[in-house]
């Protein structure tokens, strides 16, 4: 175990043990009160909903236990396609977003075509709804019958997600790059670093660290939007739920699909909240992690 010895002459903050104990006790009381309040709220809402005239029909249609047990394994199996789409699209989105953001930050007149193309890409794919991009690529490109062009619906659905989310992520990266103070670039250039080295070793590490929380939020949305690929026909979790519901006229499979998405997105959301809290604490501490 390492012991940190304060430097000679350094001020050592003294924390009263009694005051610390009172703060901890108050935090425990506040947490207990919050849990009791939340539990009471849930009980009241549950009682009110269960007393409504239509609750028996809703329970049978949306929360049928037998239907849930019968269809949930198939939903889990179909959800693996959503996971694969997400795992393929996420790194591609990061690469596309970073390249577009760097292209938009180039100042030299020689790179004007790159800036124009990057700007048009961001404007178009941020303005068009994702589901329309999926329709256009998934149905339009195979209809061209180009030699050697893939026809797989999953391929084009994933490509549409990459193009759509790449535009949003590009703006997140650009905001992170712009958040780095210009003095950092000037200091790096004064030390003899080239433009490429300045971006690689000075600007991008700080920019990426600043935009991790919003990137995580984008990827939470991406995980849910993988269900949009179902419009092209692949049997992922939403399509599986639709098939099961249409065969029994019971909507419990949709609830099962929602629970699967919730089970995956809640940990990702809490992790995003933790990174945001850590980032705020680091900024308040003057950049000391």
- 110-165 pLDDT, tens per residue? 888 888 999 999 999 999 999 999 999 999 888 888 887 888 889 999 999 999 99
Measure the CA–CA gap between 240 and 256, rounded to whole angstroms.
Answer: 11
140 occurs within a structural domain: yes
Pair of tokens at residue 231:
């419009």
Cα distances from 14 to residues 3, 83, 267, 288, in angstroms, run 17, 51, 37, 21
Measure the CA–CA gap between 179 and 210, rounded to whole angstroms.
Answer: 8
Task: Name the residue with higher pLDDT: 276 or 35.
Answer: 35
51 occurs within a structural domain: no
Parent domain of 169: 65-279
180 occurs within a structural domain: yes
At 245-275, the pLDDT tens digits run 888 888 999 999 999 999 888 888 888 778 7
Average pLDDT of the segment spanning 92-105: 91
CA dihedral of residues 277, 278, 284, 288 (deg, nearest 10)? 180
The CATH number for 187's domain is 1.10.3720.10
Say what the pLDDT of residue 180 is: 82
40 occurs within a structural domain: no
Overall pTM surpassing 0.85 (yes/no): no
Give the burial class of 236: count Cβ atoms within 10 A of its Cβ; 0-12 exposed, 13-18 middle, 19 or more buried: buried
DSSP secondary structure letter of residue 6: P
Average pLDDT of the segment spanning 239-249: 89
Q: How many structural domains compose the chain?
A: 1
């Amino acid at each position: 175990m390492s012991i940190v010895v304060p430097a000679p002459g350094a001020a050592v903050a003294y924390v009263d043990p009694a005051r610390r104990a009172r703060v901890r006790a108050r935090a425990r009381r506040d947490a207990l009160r919050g849990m009791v309040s939340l539990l009471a709220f849930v009980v009241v809402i549950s009682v009110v909903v269960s007393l409504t005239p239509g609750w028996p029909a809703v329970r049978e249609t949306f929360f049928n236990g037998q239907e849930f047990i019968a269809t949930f394994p198939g939903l889990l199996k179909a959800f693996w396609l959503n996971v694969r789409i997400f795992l393929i699209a996420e790194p591609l989105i990061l690469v596309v977003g970073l390249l577009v953001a760097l292209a938009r930050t180039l100042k030299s007149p020689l790179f004007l075509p790159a800036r124009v193309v990057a700007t048009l890409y961001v404007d178009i794919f941020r303005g068009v709804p994702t589901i329309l991009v999926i329709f256009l690529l998934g149905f339009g490109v195979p209809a061209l019958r180009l030699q050697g062009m893939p026809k797989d619906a999953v391929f084009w659905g994933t490509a549409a997600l990459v193009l759509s989310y790449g535009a949003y992520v590009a703006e997140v990266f650009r905001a992170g790059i712009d958040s780095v103070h210009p003095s950092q670039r000037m200091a790096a250039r004064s030390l003899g670093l080239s433009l490429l080295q300045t971006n690689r070793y000075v600007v991008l590490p700080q920019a990426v660290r600043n935009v991790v929380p919003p990137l995580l939020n984008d990827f939470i949305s991406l995980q849910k939007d993988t269900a949009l690929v179902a419009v092209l026909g692949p049997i992922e979790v939403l399509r599986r739920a639709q098939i099961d519901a249409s065969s029994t006229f019971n909507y419990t499979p949709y609830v099962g699909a929602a629970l699967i998405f919730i089970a995956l997105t809640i940990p990702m959301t809490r992790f995003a909240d933790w990174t945001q809290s850590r980032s705020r604490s680091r900024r308040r501490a003057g950049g000391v992690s």
